[in-house]
Structure 1
Amino acid sequence: MLTCIPMQSLEEAKSAMEVARPVLLVTDSSSGYWHSRFGIDCVPSLRWHVLMDSPVKANDTGTIFATELLKKPTGRSVTLDYLWAPERAAIICFTSGTTGRPKGATISHSAVVVQSLAKIAIVRYDEDDVYLHTAPLCHIGGISSAMAMLMAGGCHVIIPKFEANLASEAIREHLVTSLITVPTMMADIICVNRINQRSENFESVKKILNGGGGLSVELIKEATKIFPRAILHSAYGMTEACSSLTFMTLYNPTQENLCKHPFDVKISNLSRQGGICVGKPAPHVDLRVSAEESSNCGRILMRGPHAMLHYWGQSPSKHWNPVHEGWLDTGDIGQIDDHGNLWLVGRAKDRIKSGGENIYPEEVEGVLSQHPGISRIVVVGVPDSRLTEMVIGCVQLKTVGDGLILVLITYQKTTSSVYPPTSSGTFVGKRT
């Protein structure tokens, strides 16, 4: 099964179909316009098109209306012999394409099952759960959590697409007990309920799994006010891993230490602890950091039954480097502390080479964003004849003034001593 995102452009969807060569296209009213665009001439492999609820009139014999099909009397029952093929392809999920054209990560049946079991064990989904589908079912995060809830036997609440108002009403109406979020979703739910001045909170919610980026301390604190009874988990993962690699608990109202001190992580004895802690590997995941002898920081490698088979249409040997002996390179940089926590430093492709040092933008951003005078910050590398690349910080200041600029330069030098200062001490500020 190939999953396509309705928000994709027609060119992106066509590109994915040209790679996967599907024979059947299923759409609903939200993407009914694809019917007229994706004919046999456009995608030669297509033979049928199923319209679930679209009023679009069909002009070819290959179109099937699901509503009409359901009205037809059932024919003679056919007995089928089902075969278990755990290592065969189940889903093709296309990545976002940050390194060029989107690639189809091919996920096996066993990977889906293993990932579902991990979520059941860690998030503790069960048959009493009422699960709200906030993530689209064409996204690996939405697919893996939906499959976990199916295996657990819980109830599913489906909304057409995520909107904070719609999700909030669904939680209240159906007494939702579990959902997944990304930071933007959490921020939107908090904002909408603050604007609407709804005094009640979502006490029915007991389990929240956040992915797609870390929650800030401020968001965690606000989330615990709206979801006071929910255990807040966070996961780090990727499409190629069939979703989550690591998990950690950010807040647990039943545990005093995680109630009073959200995001309580034991500090490592490593000489330099950089990056963002994303927790410990799931039981089925093997993680390893391929680092140089002089550093604890390196490329994050993974292996296990959750890992993708290959990118559709490409040889597996391109992704499992023989040097790493069967380990899949995530493309991320990090380190593992002596408590087993993985610390994510940044993407390998975003690394800045400056003055002979490897500098990761996320690490510098993490340090500077802690200053109360900074609203937002983005760190980039620009070409420099002396340093190879110069580190530049683009900041959005809460207030603008020469005094604050000097304070920020001093703050950067005192808190980022692991890197030698560059020849540039310029900050470009903008008032929020």
Structure 2
Amino acid sequence: MFQRRLFTCCRLLLLTLLLTIPAPAIAEAEISEKQQQDTYQHLETFAAILSILQEHYVEEIDTKEVIEGAIDGLLLSLDPHSSYLKPEHYREFQEETSGAFTGIGIEITLKDGVITVIAPIEDTPAAKAGIKANDKIIKINGDFTKGKSPFDAVKLLRGPKGSEVTISIFREGWQELKDFTLSRDTIPLQSVRSFAIKPGLGYLRISNFQRNTTKEVREHLAELRKAEPLRGLILDLRNNPGGLLDQAVNVADLFLAEGLIVYTRGRNKELDLTYEAHRDERTESFYPLVVLVNEGSASASEIVAGAVQDHKRGVIVGSKTFGKGSVQTIVPLADGAGLRMTTARYYTPSGRSIQATGILPDIAIELANGSTDETGESSAPAVREEDLENHFFNQSDKPTEDTPEFSDEMRSRVENDNQLREAYNILKSLILYASFNRQQTRE
């Protein structure tokens, strides 16, 4: 009788969740009779332990807190991206995709049991302090993070604007921890920035994929085209930790005319999704494209990079990406909480799963520490004919004009960013090659 009642309760709970999940709804999975029996037995064990604790534990326990802890443990035992969102955590998650929050500006995950930075958000306290992708957060305000979930860590990292938090970081190659004391600030969620490298060449950066990202990308591209049509674009997805799947698909669709963008496969076949590109008036013309990625490019940004790479729409430049090839679904619960669970793996158009392997760039360029050559020595200034003593002067009636190579903003960026500098050189090569092909076709 107990088992029958318990099964009925489980079915009612599942039905309640179905009614609160936006389309596509999650269908009830088929459960074998043996699985049902095993579930009842384990739940009886759990209920018995809880009852014993309530009666005999040395101190009175908070039943709600204990059960939430058990749920956390259940989800963490599955994978690092599934988690139970308490009502306050669920509200924070919604803020991250639609508004702004106060904190230090990092995206984190649980990697090998350690709170790990996926990527710092651009122009935030964390980025300005030098926090990097793959940094391990060992302590927050002196307390060890071992055993904490990413949402537990987020709660400690956030706080009133202007207040301080100290994080103890371990980075590969370091011999000991290093403390960073950061002042919390409002983290704006403007996800797109752009500027003209020079007339006809554009730079566009997406820092994360939010609800309005596709709309912002269109607006920035329109602004870049105001002076003259775009002849080439650098799309910077470095340190982009991901975000909303539909926004990644829509952004990729801007640059692709047809074919697969991404597809998902999970245990529940009714939830398998396939996203196709389609050409319409909003599709960008097919100018040369260079996409910058690094180890902080994860999830949604890997979907865009993978689609561009598989369709040979552009050249992927930088370092290997993070390798998060799974899709999470947020299930709202009746008490204002939420369940974040991994429901599928995603695959690039060629059928690749990038889970734990990442996107390998077409041209691998690691970010250099300063302007040094491969020996580690500072490069000597170049010597040209004009520097030689008693050199001949140019006698031409039409001396070569010294036209600026970059816009002021581009010049300041490439001085300390070798990946961006190489991306620009590759983009110039693609433009020259495209121009050569057009000339050959006319001839």
Please tell me the TM-score bracket, short chain as reference. under 0.3
Work out which of the two has the higher radius of gyration on C-alpha atoms and give 1 or 2.
Answer: 2
Higher strand share: 1
Higher RCO (Cα < 8 Å, 6 or more apart): 2
